[in-house]
A and B are shown apart, each in its own frame.
Chain A
Amino acid sequence: MESVKDIDVRGLSCPEPVMITTMALKKYKGQALRVIASEAHVSTNVQKLLKKNNIAFELSNESNDYVISFTA
């Protein structure tokens, strides 16, 4: 089974997390990804990007971080 690729955008200022996720969507097309964010507004922005791209995702929390799992 293919491993899940983690995209760590913790602590980055806007709009870097969304830019990096956009890059990851292209680079890892078809792969399982997890975007890890440290702030709620970053998580919201990434979710919005995924919705715009019609990608279904799952949300979870790991310690203090927000994790968004999906298939690019």
Chain B
Amino acid sequence: MPTFDFLPLLWWGLPLAAAPVVIHLINLLRHRRVPWAAMEFLLASQKRYRTRVLLKQILLLLLRVAAVIGVVLAMAQPRWTSALGQLLGGARTTHVVLLDDSYSMSDRTGEAGGEEATAFDRGRQVVERICSELAAASGVQELAVGRFSRLAAADPSGAAAPKFDIPRRPATPTVMQQIRDELASWAPSAHDTGPREPVTAAAELFGAGSGAKSARVVWVVSDFRAGQWKTADDTAALLRELTAEGAEIRLVDCALDATAGAQGGRPSGNLTIERLEVAGGVPATGVLVPLEVAVRNQSDRPVADVAVALREDGAERPGVRIQQIPAGGVATQRIGVRFPQTGSHVVEARIPADAVAVDNARTAVIDVVDRVDVLLIDGALGAAGEVRAAARTGDAFYLAAALAPGAGATTGLRPRVEPARSLTTLDLKSFDCIWLLDVERLDPAEVAALEAFASGGGGVVFFVGPRTKPELVNRSLVRDGKGLFPVPLAGAVDLLPDAAAQAPDVVVEEHPVVAVLAGQRNPLLDAVRIDRYMAVERGSETAVEGGLRRLLSLRTGAPLVLERAFGAGMVVVVLTTAAPEWNTWARGNPSWVVVMLELESHLASARRKAESLEVGAAVRVPLDAAVDGIEVDFVIPPDGTVVHQTASVDQTGSLAARLPAADAPGAYAARWQRADGTQRERLFAVNVAPDEGRLERIGRERLDRTLAGVPFTYENAAALQPDTQSLAGVSLVTPLLLGLLGVLLLEQLLAYSSSYHPTVRQPRSA
């Protein structure tokens, strides 16, 4: 499509095309008047030649109009641009450059024998090259540049237009130099932004463009990692829409192939700390808290001997070494950390530098308390608080002894024994786990409170016993599978003694809680004798919706301990007593303590999981309007920049302070003042999305499949060599002038044949 160097001239000049018509009309009004005698011959001639004269006049007018248009076009300097020339050499071309700054672009896979450069560096060079070519190109060029992370930044109101780093502006040499200067300050972000949001932003930019249609070019400068591009269906649809509206799509690949690294540069492999979290245990002072760190090997070669360093509140702590991580696999290692003080602690795990640096560290914030309260609802406590069982023989006693043995064995747990009515009077949110010990009955309010607790992520454990009434349980707690209780009970039965006494009463199933007891025969568990248990209704296990999971079974095959998810929480039923009334488990058997502690840790894990935000997410601090001030300072890593935010009531109706987006990984602190004058601080761990660390390339073939139906050009950053000549386009002035000459000659011939040329009157002969 031709473009014009001086497009305004075209718009101003084109109306002149009407001049021949206007002149013709004026001439019609300016006829010379001649009184004429021989009108009959003239009228006869006019009658005979009327059609021919009219056609010639119209043709002549058209030729003259064409001549004027030709002159105007020639003055506007038309160019016929090639495919490349249309991109950069066109008259009015809008270029939108979308620069991928996700952290995979910080890949330092080196060029063989060359200077190291990140993919982002190469992307930046591509943008610079585009700027240079645009500054030199003819025609009106406009450029907008946006980084992926900025374009994807969520706006709280959702109304603002995407934020381009460099809004659309004319590509003059001065502006291009300013852009190049600004580019120097750019660095890869810690985001994992994919192409969808940036391409959407480009579409919106074009949509909000200046009415006149101009050539449009979308440059996507990225490393085209498989993780983001192989499922980019939304992006493909957007690109299809853009191309349907005439936009040119140019994909510029900045990443080097893995073979480049293999030939002498840095290793192309990348290790990513995928997880760092509390793996069970109780986050209480003095308690050894197991932290689990998972490292993924993103390369196609196994990696050995990876040192994981640990920092706790900025202080180095003993790390661990991972012997080997298989190619593409994950290695998990546990590290025990003991926190001497209460409060929020920042733990950071770090692995040695590799191709991508930002995913070599991961932060976790662990809130450590003095003791964790555990609520034990003892069925032995009557409605009036009457103690019907001896304090040292009841279920609560044995369970409390298991959870908090005392005498130097610190578990961090603090059992609190309460009657059933406490379920409606206590703030259940302050507990991670509630144990119900042979409770005879629960009224509907108590059942509702308990179910709300469980569905909110809490753990609930039922122990049955002599007071348990199966029909009441089935009616109020099972409710045909809709209730909290996992299975309907049939009734208490005795476990007949094994005459041969060869098999233990309790069989360990495959479950993390009893994993320590699984495997070879465990003498501790073998010593457990089950005399009586509560049988479940026949066939009820398989009929339960959502599935049951056994922890322990009896040698008869009947279930002993069952687990079922309920909402976000978990419910476990132990079909025997906690006290050594129907069994001998709690009587001096260490496995009782181990299993109960593991069970507590397992059920409370959902609540104790350290909250971790991903880069790009908003940091939200819920506040209590009654006690908290609304002015909150966010301290942002790594340099401790303080951003002040005022809390407001959000869409959920609750008061909260909000940091719109966390751009850097690390520990964020939110500080505010309470009404009583005390300072509060809450820490948040923000980490990169581990999947972005996968450096697998999508490759041209898969990209073609993903972007099926999208016409695009795919070039390597190093091979992108815009040709100035083709950018400028081929000038159409010469052929246009030749055409104009032809039109003028034709016009003269036609005018002559139409007798429009004035004749020199011959002097009369004497």
Q: Does A associate with B in a complex?
A: no
Q: What residues make up the interface of B, taking CB atoms closer than 8 Å to A?
A: none
